[in-house]
Amino acid sequence: MAEATTVTLLADATRFIVRGGDAAISAMSSAVGVEFPRLACHAAEEGSRAALWLGPDEWLLLAPDTERNALELYLTSVTTVTPGSAVDISDRQVGVALAGPHAADALTAFMPLDLDPVAFPVGMCTRTIFGKAEIVLWRRGPHAFRIEVWRSFAPYVLACLDEALVEYGEPAATSS
């Protein structure tokens, strides 16, 4: 039997939108233990934490839900002495994992982004539109993606992914 493409709603996570200049970002990187990427549209991981570049002075910091309080303390300690900001958006968004041979096909059914591995390699991330919803898309592996979407748009995004996978004979594969 061929490998199925799966759509999985991820467990709750800690999420911060982090903004600042070079001094603030360097200090925050040191404080939270993950180097914030300076290369446009790239992600960096260290252990269970990740930082995704979203704009010239904006990153999405992801970590396990259990690390929210500690990360808030670290980030606050930096932003009280260095101009920058860290806003907790943990409850605003949900994460979705999409993996399997038709993962890129399911995504491109609802967005025009070129997901060829040469154009969008492993480790690349971007903010984009999926159907009518804004998402953050991160390529985690050759056939694996993480989607960050506002909680209120998650049912819509999940339904679109399931609809796209029907074309490939994949059943509705959403799981939690």
Residue % of the chain over a pLDDT of 90: 92
Predicted confidence at residue 142, as pLDDT, reads: 97
User: Phi then psi for 78, rounded to 5 degrees?
Assistant: -80, -45
Who wins on pLDDT, 168 or 136? 136
| Backbone angle region of 100, left / alpha / beta, with phi > 0 → left and psi within -120 to 50 → alpha | left
**Structural domains of the chain sorted by starting position, each given as residue range(s) with its CATH number in brackets:** 13-88 (3.30.70.1520), 92-168 (3.30.1360.120)
Q: What's the pTM value of the predicted model, to 2 decimals? A: 0.93
Closest CA to 148 of 140, 159, 160, 136: 136
Q: In this predicted model, what pLDDT tens digit does every residue of 77-88 receive, in sequence order?
A: 999 999 999 999
Please answer whether residues 158 and 96 qualify as being in contact, where contact means their C-beta atoms are separated by less than 8 angstroms. yes
Is 172's pLDDT higher than 70? no
Strand stretches in 43-113, DSSP E? 43-46, 49-55, 58-64, 84-88, 93-99
Predicted confidence at residue 175, as pLDDT, reads: 53
The residue written with tokens 């399911």 in the block is 106
